């Protein structure tokens, strides 16, 4: 997910220079290309991760590098072309840090909702108001394989829901009415054609 502010040009640059978020992994920084809509990998249901191997740890590290480089606050593995159930998140909250979610599921969410502007690294420069539950609770495995149950609110809850949608092949545009979605996709097509 992409952080948005009132001005689209004023995207907050979050914690880009964190270098030691994953000790004991490969020290090389690797930025992978971000897959853009309408690549079919974004519509696939991602595979369950059965073992946390060296490759999975390297993927996590690369995804964090890629997410910070793209100034995102969340990135799902299908967005770098790997159809596996993992995403990274760093919403820059005080006292927070980068998090890796493996096989995440939402086990509870609030009836209280909030509408807020949302963007996605797979849809450059496109933003839309999306209504989502304000709180959610997830269960996931961290990179050490430990099962974690954690609750989120506000921007972090929004990001968690956005990224778990990705792992199910669902995209933020699916939450829009068809007219708004058509306008957004038209703008995206125009933008990509001019690049
Ligand atoms: Zn996204």
How does DSSP assign 88-100, residue by residue? Answer: EE----TT---EE
102 assigned to some structural domain: yes
For the entire predicted model, the pTM comes to 0.87
Residues 17-22: contacts with CB under 8 Å, at least 24 apart: 17/68, 18/64, 18/68, 18/90, 18/97, 18/98, 21/64, 21/97, 21/98, 22/57, 22/60, 22/61, 22/64, 22/143
Give a yes or no: residue 65 inside a domain: yes
How close is the Cα of 31 to the center of ligand 1, in Å?
Answer: 17
Residue 46 lies in a domain: yes
Q: How many domains does the chain have?
A: 1
CA of 163 to the centre of ligand 1 (A): 6
Q: Is residue 1 part of a domain?
A: no
C-alpha–C-alpha distance, residues 177 and 185, integer Å: 12
Is residue 82 in some structural domain?
Answer: yes
Map residue 104 onto helix, strand or coil.
strand
Tokens of 41: 């990998």
Full residue range of the structural domain in which residue 62 is found: 40-193
pLDDT value, residue 93: 72
Distance CA 59, CA 117 (A): 29
Find the radius of gyration of the CA atoms of the chain.
Answer: 16
Q: Is residue 109 part of a domain?
A: yes
Which CATH number belongs to the domain containing residue 126 in this structure?
A: 3.90.45.10
Rounded to the nearest angstrom, the distance between the alpha carbon of 159 and the centre of ligand 1 is 9
In a domain, 154, yes or no: yes
Residue ranges of alpha helices (H) inside 5-53 are none
- Per-residue confidence of the chain (195 residues) as pLDDT tens digits? 887 654 333 222 333 334 334 443 445 679 999 999 999 999 999 999 999 999 999 999 999 999 999 999 999 999 999 999 999 999 887 666 899 999 999 999 999 999 999 999 999 999 999 999 999 999 999 999 999 999 999 999 999 999 999 999 999 999 999 999 999 999 999 999 998
**Span from the CA of 110 to the centroid of ligand 1 (angstroms):** 21
pLDDT attached to residue 13: 30
113: in domain? yes
**From 3, 118, 156, 163, active-site residue:** 163
Per the annotation, the verdict on 111 as an active-site residue is no
8 Å CB contact between 121 and 79 = yes
| CA 171–ligand 1 middle distance (angstroms) | 7
């Amino acid at each position: 997910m992409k952080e948005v502010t009132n001005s689209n040009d004023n995207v907050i640059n979050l914690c880009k220079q964190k270098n030691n978020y994953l000790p004991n992994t490969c020290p090389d920084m690797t930025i992978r290309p971000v897959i853009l809509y309408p690549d079919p990998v974004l519509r696939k249901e991602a595979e369950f991760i059965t073992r946390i191997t060296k490759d999975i740890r390297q993927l996590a590290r690369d995804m964090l590098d890629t997410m910070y480089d793209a100034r995102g606050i969340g990135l799902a593995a299908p967005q770098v072309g790997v159809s596996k159930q993992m995403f990274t998140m760093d919403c820059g909250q005080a006292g927070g840090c980068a998090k890796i979610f493996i096989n995440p599921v939402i086990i509870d969410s609030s009836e209280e909702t909030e509408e807020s502007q949302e963007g996605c690294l797979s849809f450059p420069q496109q933003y839309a108001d999306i209504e989502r539950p304000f709180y959610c609770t997830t269960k996931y495995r961290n990179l050490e394989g430990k099962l974690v149950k954690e609750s989120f609110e506000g921007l972090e809850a929004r990001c968690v829901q956005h990224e778990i949608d990705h792992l199910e092949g669902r995209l933020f545009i699916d939450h829009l009415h068809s007219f708004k979605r058509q306008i957004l996709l038209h703008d995206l097509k125009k933008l990509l054609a001019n690049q």
